[in-house]
């Protein structure tokens, strides 16, 4: 992974629990990269942990803008940024990568965001507006105070800001407002898993084909393997039983085998490991369909074993 050194040029409390961060190159040179909406960067915080954050702005602005939610269970990523980062501080930032690109086309785009899920959709919204592509943004937040960027969005007729609804009312609102599919339309959603599932399910019922539906998971869901899973580490000649709720990386670590990681969320590729035998349950967002189908690779920070035994080249 290639890193650049950036400097915090601006910090703003954007909403309840959300810090807006503007980064420029530490040596004031132009940005050495560009990106498309939906992209994210890895940020190495002063606590040493690496976290992924979506870019909320477009590349031609010449700086990187992020919006960082303070995670209640933060292990030093968002907590450090919220509490320790000051204007002028330096951070290591990766070149942007995009697992959630806006697809080409001129058809209408519907963006459905909840909470901090608005960040990649905001960049998409701006791009569509800049290209005069029809776009609508539905943005759900826990309360008006939790809504980020509302000053810029409030008077925009293409944006609906919805706050303070309970989960059942969010469902009812979506039921009322999610349109039927029109040819060439695309729907992008980002937010908590349950929210995105509701959006996808309703959209399916309204005729949206899966090829027109796109979503981004902020956090890979870690599903427990069967407690009886045996992990064999072929190169090291070790084996270990994976415990319920434990990642394969953690199980390998217990056996004394260190698998390199970065994001720990199945997004960056740092932990990519060869599979010698066994069936993989893929839970990452990194491998291509072809790589998954080959059965040769696994991202062990999040993925697991679909059978009772998995042998990895580690």
Q: Are strands 109-114 and 50-54 parallel, antiparallel or unpaired?
A: unpaired
Among 11, 15, 19, 268, binds ligand FES (CB under 6 A): 268
Given the complex with ligand FES, which of 107 and 269 has the nearer CB atom?
A: 269
Stretch that binds ligand FES, among 134-142, 156-164, 238-246, 266-274 (CB under 6 A): 266-274
| Dihedral, 222, 227, 231, 237 alpha carbons, nearest 10 | 140
Among 252, 263, 298, 314, binds ligand FES (CB under 6 A): 263
Q: How far apart are CA 153 and CA 52, in angstroms?
A: 25
Given the complex with ligand FES, which of 170 and 252 has the nearer CB atom?
A: 252
Among 38, 117, 266, 278, binds ligand FES (CB under 6 A): 266
Stretch that binds ligand FES, among 25-33, 55-63, 202-210, 265-273 (CB under 6 A): 265-273
- Total binding residues toward ligand FES, as defined by CB under 6 A: 14
**Would you count residue 270 as binding ligand FES (CB under 6 A)?**
yes
Burial code (b: 16+ CB inside 10 Å, e: under 16) for 178-201 equals beebeeebbbbbbbbeebbebbbe
Q: Please, are residues 232 and 312 in contact by the beta-carbon 8 Å criterion?
A: yes
Among 68, 111, 137, 271, binds ligand FES (CB under 6 A): 271
**Would you count residue 269 as binding ligand FES (CB under 6 A)?**
yes
Q: How far apart are CA 293 and CA 314, in angstroms?
A: 20
**Would you count residue 299 as binding ligand FES (CB under 6 A)?**
yes
**Would you count residue 287 as binding ligand FES (CB under 6 A)?**
no
Q: How far apart are CA 277 and CA 179, in angstroms?
A: 46
- Which two structure tokens, joined as six digits, stand for 148? 């980020």
Given the complex with ligand FES, which of 39 and 263 has the nearer CB atom?
A: 263
Among 115, 117, 120, 264, binds ligand FES (CB under 6 A): 264
Stretch that binds ligand FES, among 23-31, 80-88, 118-126, 263-271 (CB under 6 A): 263-271
What does the DSSP assignment read for 217-267?
A: -SS----PPPTTPEEEETTTTEEEEPPTT--HHHHHHHTT-PPP-SSSSSS
**Would you count residue 94 as binding ligand FES (CB under 6 A)?**
no
**Would you count residue 31 as binding ligand FES (CB under 6 A)?**
no
| Distance in Å, CB of 264 to ligand FES, minimum | 5
Distance (Å) of CA 209 to CA 104, 108, 175, 180, 190: 17, 15, 17, 11, 18
Nearest Cα to Cα of residue 55 among 44, 40, 77, 34: 40
Task: Read off φ and ψ for residue 86, nearest 5 degrees.
Answer: -125, 155
Please report the sign of the dihedral spanned by the C-alpha atoms of residue 51, residue 128, residue 203, residue 163: positive
Given the complex with ligand FES, which of 95 and 270 has the nearer CB atom?
A: 270
**Would you count residue 240 as binding ligand FES (CB under 6 A)?**
no
- Residue ranges binding ligand FES (CB under 6 A): 261-264, 266-271, 284, 286, 299, 301
């Amino acid at each position: 992974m290639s890193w650049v050194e950036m400097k915090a040029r601006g910090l703003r409390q954007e909403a309840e629990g959300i810090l807006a961060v503007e980064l420029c190159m530490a040596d004031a040179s132009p940005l050495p990269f560009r990106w498309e909406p939906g992209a994210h960067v890895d940020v190495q915080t002063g606590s040493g942990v690496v976290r992924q954050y979506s870019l909320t702005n477009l590349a031609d602005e010449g700086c990187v803008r992020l919006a960082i939610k303070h995670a209640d269970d933060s292990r030093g990523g968002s907590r450090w940024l919220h509490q320790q980062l000051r204007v002028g501080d330096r951070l290591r930032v990766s070149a942007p990568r995009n697992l959630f690109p806006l697809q080409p086309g001129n058809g209408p785009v519907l963006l459905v965001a909840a909470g901090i899920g608005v960040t990649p959709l905001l960049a998409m919204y701006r791009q569509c507006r800049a290209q005069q592509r029809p776009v609508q943004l539905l943005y759900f937040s826990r309360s008006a105070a939790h809504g980020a960027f509302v000053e810029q969005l409030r008077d925009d007729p293409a944006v609906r800001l919805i706050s303070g609804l309970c989960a059942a009312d969010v469902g009812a609102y979506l039921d009322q407002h999610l349109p039927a599919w029109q040819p060439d339309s695309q729907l992008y959603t980002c937010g908590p898993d349950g929210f995105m599932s509701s959006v996808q399910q309703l959209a399916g019922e309204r005729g949206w084909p899966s090829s027109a539906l796109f979503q981004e998971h902020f956090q890979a869901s870690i599903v427990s393997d069967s407690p009886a899973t045996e992990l064999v580490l072929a190169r090291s000649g070790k084996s270990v039983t994976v415990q319920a709720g434990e990642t394969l990386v953690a199980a390998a670590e217990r056996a004394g085998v260190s698998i390199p990681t970065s994001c720990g969320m199945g997004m960056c590729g740092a932990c990519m490991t060869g599979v010698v035998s066994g069936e993989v349950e893929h839970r990452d967002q990194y491998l291509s369909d072809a790589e998954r189908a080959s059965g040769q690779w696994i991202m062990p920070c999040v993925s697991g074993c679909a059978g009772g035994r998995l042998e990895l080249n580690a």
